[in-house]
Structure 1
Amino acid sequence: MIATNEMLYSFFSNQSILVTGGTGSIGRGIVEALLSYRPKRIVVFSKDDSKQYMMKLSYENDPIVSFCLGDIRDYESVENATVGMDMVFHTAALKQVSVCENFPYETVKTNIIGSENVIRAAIRNGVKKVVNISTDKVVNTYNALGASKLIAEKLFASANAHSANLQTRLCTIRFGNVIGSRGSVLPIFLDQVSQGKPITVTNRKMTRFFITIPEAVDRMMKAAYYCQGGETFVLKMQSFRIGELADAVCDYFGESGVRPRIQTIGLRPGEKFHEELIFDCERERVLEDDELYAVLPTEADATGTYLHFNPALIHTYRSNQGAHITKDELKSIVAQEHQKYRVRRGGGSE
C-alpha cells in the first residue's frame, strides 16, 4: 500500500532523527517535512556555524529541533551525534561537479570517508534506519562527484548486506537536479540576471532531470518508510533542456522590459550532456509505483513481491528521453523561484 500521511505520522512520530548536512537546501527541506509528523526530536548536524545560527533563528521556539556542530569526516563527532538516534538522513556531501573535479581528495574525504563514518556510527549505536541521499550523477559517471557518490552508494549497500543480524537497515535515495537548491542551475541564472550579467549555458541541448524541494522531500519520506534494507530508491522526475530553461528566464524578465542575454560557454570539466537514473545492470531489479523506482539489492528476488511495487514497465531513464516539461511550466517555475529568490535577498527587485 502506498504510504499515507497517517502511516508516515505513525512511522516518524516519537522518533529521534539526525539529519547530516541539515543546514543545506535538502537538509532543511527534510527537517521541515519531519516537523509535520512531530518526532521526538530532530538533530541538525553540520559543520557550518553561520548556517546553523541562521537556521536556529527559524526554529528557536520549537523544542523538537536542536543543533550539533560537527564534521562527518571526524568519526568521533559522528558517533557522538548518532547516540540515541532512531533514524539518520545522510545529506552531508560535496555536491558541485566543478568543486569535486578541482578538489578530488577533499571529495573522497567528505563523500566516501564521511559516509563510511555515518554507517559505522549508526551501526555501532543501533540506529534503526539510515537513508543515504545520492545523485543521478553516479550513473555511468566520469566525474569525481559521481564516482565518490557511487562508492558511497556501494558502502551503504554492502553495510546492509553484511549487517543482516543487526537492527540497522540502510538504503539510498537517488535523484537529479533540485530546482531552487543552492548551487543548482536556476539560482545561478537568477544571480547572473541580478548582477546584469549574461546567462551562461554550456550547451542549449543539454538535458537535466529536475524536481522541486517539496516533491523530493515528500518522496524521501515515503522511501524511508518503505526501506527494508539495501534498496536504491530513485525519484521519478521530469526533465528539461538547459536552453529552454534559459529562454524561460529571459522571457520572464523580458516582460519587465529588460531581457537578459544568453552566452554559450561549452561543457565544463566533468559535465555530462545527459543524465541517467538507473544503470543497465540494475534494470532487471527495478520495480515502481507512481512516484518512485525501487532498485532491489542484488541478493533480492526481483520476481517476488515487494510491498505495493510492481515491475517497471518503461525502461527509459535518460534525461533526453521520457517526459519533458513544457515551456509554460518552466516559466511558471521561474516566476515562483524568483519570488523566493527576492525574499532570500531581502525583498529587492532585480
Structure 2
Amino acid sequence: MIKNSNILITGGTGSFGHSFVSLTLKKYNPKRLVVFSRDEMKQWEMAKKFNDDPRIRFFIGDVRDKERLHRALHSVDYVVHAAATKIVPTAEYNPFECIKTNINGAMNLIDACIDQNVKKVVALSTDKASSPINLYGATKFASDKLFVASNSSYASGHETKFSVVRYGNVMGSRGSVIPFFLSLKNQEVLPITDNRMTRFMISLEQGVELVWHAFKDMLGGEIYVKKIPSMKVTDIAKVIAPKAKHKIIGIRPGEKLHEQMISIEDSYSTYEYLNYYKILPQINDWGKDKLRIKNGKKVPEGFVYSSENNSEWVTKDELKKWLSLNKNYIGQI
C-alpha cells in the first residue's frame, strides 16, 4: 500500500523515526519520505546518516504550528504521527508544554491532514494512555480519542482515515532503562525504583512492523496493540551489572509499577489476533462492525493486558543475546 507513495513522519528524528525511515526505505521504496521535526541539529545528523538519499526530505516544523503542518502535508499520502512530549517527569513539571504538543498538536495534525486529503494516518500511542495516572498518559489518552473520533468528525464528511498503534518500553531507545543501566554498569550500586516493577519489551523493528500492519488493515478508529513479552526491571539490572547491588529509590512522580496496554474497560470492544490485539471504538457501533473485526476473537469480559500478568516473558539469556547483537545502537537514537 505505501510502496511508491509520499509519506510524512512527525517527530521523525526520534528513536522510532530513525528505524521507520531506514526500514521503510528498504522495504517499500517510497517516492518521498518527509521527516518533520523541530530540531535542526538532529535533522542534520540524520541527513548524514542516510547519505543524502534523494527520497528523503527534511522539513523543520512543530506540530504546534498548524500552518506549517498544512504546508508540509501537501501531496502527502500517508502520515505517521510520532511527535510527542513523552518523558514522564518532564510532563509532570511542565504540563502546559506537554498539552500544547500532545493534544493541541494532535488537533492541528488531524485538521491539516483532512484539509490536504491525506489518505491514512497512524498515530503512535503508549501503554501510559491505558488507565492513565500521569499527565503524559492523560494527554496521549486524549490524543487517542481525538484520532479515533476524527474518522467521523466533519459534518460534510471526509476521506482521511485515522488509527492508533500502542506499545510499551522500546528496548535500547534513548531515555529507556537499558542504556541507563549500561551507563552505570561499572558502579557498585544500581538505583531501582521498585523491585516488583515490570515492563513490556518491544524492539523498534516490531514497532515499525505494527505501523505497517495498521496501514494495511485499518478502516479507521482502530487501536492496535502488539503482543510483546515482559521483563522484571531487577532482571534487566542483573543481566547488565550482575555484581552490582540494588538500592530501592522509590517510584518517580507519575510512574506506574506495571505497564498496561488494554484496560478492563477496553475489554468490551477488544479482539484478539495471532500477533496483536485490536481495540475498536465504542462510538458509532464500530465495536460491532464485522468489517473492522474481520477474523478477530472477542477477548473475555474483564480482560486486562498488563506487564505483570503477561503470558510471555524475556529470559535473561534472551536479553544477553539481544544486548550483544545491538550493542552499537543502544542509546544512540
TM-score range relative to shorter protein: over 0.9
Q: Distance in 1 between matches of 2:248 and 2:167?
A: 26
How does 1:166-315 map onto structure 2 within 5 Å? Answer: 166-193=158-185, 196=187, 198-251=189-242, 259-298=243-282, 299=284, 300-302=286-288, 304-306=290-292, 308-313=294-299, 315=303
Letter of the structure 2 residue corresponding to residue 287 of structure 1: Y
Q: Distance in 2 between matches of 1:99 and 1:61?
A: 34
Q: Distance in 1 between matches of 2:305 and 2:152?
A: 26
Q: How many residues align?
A: 326
Q: 1:197 to 1:156 in 2, by over 3 A?
A: farther
Q: Distance in 2 between matches of 1:171 and 1:313?
A: 20
Letter of the structure 2 residue corresponding to residue 292 of structure 1: Y
Letter of the structure 2 residue corresponding to residue 167 of structure 1: E
Q: 1:25 to 1:309 in 2, by over 3 A?
A: farther
| CA-CA distance at 1:318 after TM superposition | 1.1
Match of 2:38 in 1: 47
Which secondary structure state, in structure 2, belongs to the residue aligned with residue 146 of structure 1?
helix
User: Structure 2: which 5+ runs fail to align?
Assistant: none
Provide Cα deviations, 1:272-325, integer angstroms capped at 9, x if missing partner: 111111122221211222222111121214373536531145634011012222
Q: Distance in 2 between matches of 1:127 and 1:96?
A: 29
Q: Distance in 1 between matches of 2:157 and 2:188?
A: 57
- Farther-moved stretch of structure 1 (309-318 vs 171-180): 309-318
Residue 26 (structure 1) aligned with residue 12 (structure 2): no
Q: 1:333 to 1:261 in 2, by over 3 A?
A: farther
- Contact between 2:120 and 2:161, CA under 8 Å: does it hold in 1? yes
Match of 1:324 in 2: 313
- Contact between 2:185 and 2:241, CA under 8 Å: does it hold in 1? no
TM-score by length of 1: 0.88
TM-score by length of 2: 0.92
User: Structure 1: which 5+ runs fail to align?
Assistant: 1-10, 252-258, 346-350
In percent, how many aligned pairs have the same letter? 37
| CA-CA distance at 1:242 after TM superposition | 0.7
How does 1:24-173 map onto structure 2 within 5 Å? Answer: 24-35=14-25, 36-163=27-154, 165-173=157-165
The RMSD of aligned alpha carbons is 1.9
Question: Runs of 4+ in structure 1 displaced over 4 angstroms?
Answer: none
Q: Distance in 2 between matches of 1:281 and 1:307?
A: 18
Letter of the structure 1 residue corresponding to residue 7 of structure 2: I
- Contact between 1:33 and 1:218, CA under 8 Å: does it hold in 2? no
Which secondary structure state, in structure 1, belongs to the residue aligned with residue 184 of structure 2?
helix
